[in-house]
Amino acid sequence: MSKVWFITGAGRGMGVDIARAALAAGDAVVATGRNTDTVSKALGFGNNLLVVKLDVTSPEDAQKAVKAAVDRFGHIDVLVNNAGNFFAGFFEEITPQDFRAQVETLFFGPINVTRAVLPVMRSQRSGLVVTISSTAGIRGGEFTSAYAASKFGVEGWMESLTPEVAPFGIRTMLVEPGFFRTELLTPESTNFAEPTIEDYAEKTRQTVTTWKGMNGLQGGDPAKLAKALLQLVSQDEPPLRWPAGADAVEEFEKKGQLLLAQANAYRELSSSLAHDDPNS
């Protein structure tokens, strides 16, 4: 049976490829974005396509968009929390306003949309919530403190949500892409912190130059990711986490090894902290 997809950030980048793949499979798509003209230009028009305005930082927008989706198609089977941007820079140089803006989009954005969609999925006793995270949600790194903090938050929230909604036939899936040839590193999506501290100046210049040079040369193909995602969504038990790309698999392995090493480093000390019970 055909599914109804609700995709955020469907006007550019990975969201466009996911929407196209779903439409090509014969599914219906609710494609949302802050600028509906951009979404329509990317995806065109069709009976199985509904374009709706949605700024994910607005709970009101989320409620209106979900209502429009249900009014048109009757239900929502797959939510894809995809909308995103990137505030890059060393922590001391990212302004508090930009740090909060990053968290508002990448963390509270999916929360707003999922909060609006879950009542629909609960009433139909089925659904899948897919949230596009990142390998930065698995391993943090320099120059990504705001981005990684947001993605780490998404990871913990989704992992905790999973058992809460499972009794209602709702499943969740986190997708952690590595480097894909999307528009994330373009000026439209990436905001580099203004250099203000001399101690960071040279490393900032090097990092910005490197990242700008990567734009358009990333190894991952977002169209292939979209097709693979359709394959996973069709399974009865989709994975709770899916590393997308060989580089993402490598990051998972590195983090797993690091956690095991940290667990063992002070095992005796860590295990010696229980109360001394004289009755035992």
Per domain, the residue ranges of the chain are 4-270
CATH class of domain segment(s) 4-270:
alpha beta
One digit per residue, pLDDT tens: the chain, 280 residues?
799 999 999 998 889 999 999 999 999 999 999 999 999 999 999 999 999 999 999 999 999 999 999 999 999 999 999 998 889 899 999 999 999 999 999 999 999 999 999 999 999 999 999 999 999 999 999 899 999 999 999 999 999 999 999 999 999 999 999 876 555 555 556 788 888 899 999 988 888 887 776 665 566 788 899 999 999 999 999 999 999 988 999 999 999 999 999 999 999 999 999 988 887 6
Cα 217 to Cα 12, 179, 223, 249, 269: the distances in Å are: 17, 9, 15, 20, 47
HSE-up (13 A, CA, CB side) for residue 79: 32
Structure tokens at 158: 């989704």
- What tens digit of pLDDT does each residue of 59-96 get? 999 999 999 999 999 999 999 999 988 898 999 999 99
Cβ atoms < 10 Å from Cβ of 209:
10
Pairing of the two strands 78-81 and 4-7: parallel
Pure H helices in the chain:
14-24, 36-43, 59-73, 96-103, 109-124, 145-165, 198-214, 222-233, 246-265, 267-270
- 133 a catalytic residue: yes
Structure tokens at 88: 């890059």
- 151 a catalytic residue: yes
Residue 137's identity, in one-letter code, is G
Q: Of these residues, 3, 145, 147, 200, which one is catalytic?
A: 147
**Residues contacting 89, CB < 8 A, separation 6+:** 143, 146, 192, 193, 204
Only one residue has tokens 């990436």, namely: 190
- 147 a catalytic residue: yes
Q: Of these residues, 3, 133, 134, 150, which one is catalytic?
A: 133
pTM: 0.92
Q: Of these residues, 3, 134, 145, 151, which one is catalytic?
A: 151
